[in-house]
Amino acid sequence: MHPLHDKKIKFLEETANLIRQDIIKMLVEAGSGHSAGPLGMTDIFTALYFHILNHNPKDPNWADRDRLVLSNGHICPVQYAALAWAGYFPMEEMMTLRKLGSRLQGHPHRGALPGVETTSGPLGSGLSQSAGIALAAKMDNKKYHIYCLMSDGEHDAGNTWEAAMFIGKNKLNNLIAIIDRNNIQIDGFTEDIMPLESLRNKYESFDWHVLEINGHDMRDIIAAVNEAKAVFEKPTVIIAHTIPGKDVSFMESDFAWHGIPPNKDQAKAALAELRTLGGKIKSEHQ
């Protein structure tokens, strides 16, 4: 991982802002899709693709690349935008999100798009997929890391906990899970639908190292991954506290935006907010 300095922080924050703008553009063009989760996870995806991951967009199947598994595939607009900005496919293709015949479907499909490692759809399957990849890497003496990005709501699914037990038992320290702890799911707040707390205690009971961070602080995100890589005796889960709909005031922390896109007027307002914020980010670092 490259050194972190103020200039790099500025680059990451500016890139995250541009990715958020593209998420809005993609969703309004598609006329369907999820808004809150992609906006909330943008900072983490930006930190991963532009600082943390060992990857090569020019050689997406490089054998020694780090693997990123997106378990809650419905937030894929943020992954698609990050992949495009990183150079995996043409930027203009982002606007084909959810179109018939597009490579950018509503859930990622392995083989359809460079940089997409797994097919997702049924919630709760990503950690099990990551467990298999991590165990295979151990058996083959490979040094790459597997990053599994999950929602908090998908922890309602039992196979998530089966995978957590398996990973803890096999001490798969090459696997780093990141939970989007945004406290919402499609029907409401997680603690009203199916209480999850204490997530920390549950993972610790399965012999995981647990970290909790501000999921919008680039330094926090990167420091947590660095710590996870230094833990050799067990896997690590990073509980990232995020704001769903981040940086769009009328979407923030409103579970109604979990599964709907903005209309044209809402998109215009969202983009105006994001562009204003982008200007502030530039001026703050000058």
Tokens of 98: 């959810």
- Write the CATH number for 22: 3.40.50.970
pLDDT cut 70: percent of the chain above it: 98
Q: What is the pLDDT of residue 58?
A: 97
pTM summary value: 0.96
pLDDT at residue 281 in the model:
87
**Is residue 163 one of the residues assigned to a domain?**
yes
> What DSSP letter does each residue of 135-155 carry, written as one string?
HHHHHTT----EEEEEESGGG
Q: Is residue 1 part of a domain?
A: no
Q: How far apart are CA 106 and CA 121, in angstroms?
A: 9
Helix orientation angle between 218-229 and 6-30, rounded to the nearest 10 degrees: 100
Residue 117 covered by a domain: yes
Query: Are 256 and 248 spatial neighbours (Cβ–Cβ below 8 Å)?
Result: no
Rounded CA separation 19/55 (Å): 19
Give, rounded to a whole angstrom, the gap between the first and last alpha carbons of the chain: 25
What pLDDT, on a 0 to 100 scale, did the predictor assign at position 122?
83
- 265: enclosing H helix or E strand: helix 264-284
Q: What does the pLDDT look like over 3-46, one tens digit per residue? A: 688 899 999 999 999 999 999 999 999 999 999 999 999 999 99
* Of 40, 5, 37, 81, nearest in space to 186 by CA: 37
Q: Give the per-residue pLDDT at 284.
A: 76
* Residues 27 and 201 sit within 8 Å (Cβ to Cβ): no
Peptide bond into 198 cis (omega under 30): yes
Q: Is residue 19 part of a domain?
A: yes
Residue 129: give the domain boundaries: 6-284
Q: How far apart are CA 124 and CA 222, in angstroms?
A: 25
For the chain, the 3-state helix, strand and coil shares in percent, each to the nearest 5, are 50, 10, 40
Q: Report the pLDDT averaged over residues 35-62.
A: 97
Q: What is the mean pLDDT of residues 232-245?
A: 97
Within-domain flag for 247: yes
What's the domain count of the chain?
A: 1
- How confident is the model at residue 236, as a pLDDT? 98
Distances (CA, A) of 270 to 27, 116, 215, 277: 12, 28, 21, 11
94-105 mean pLDDT: 96
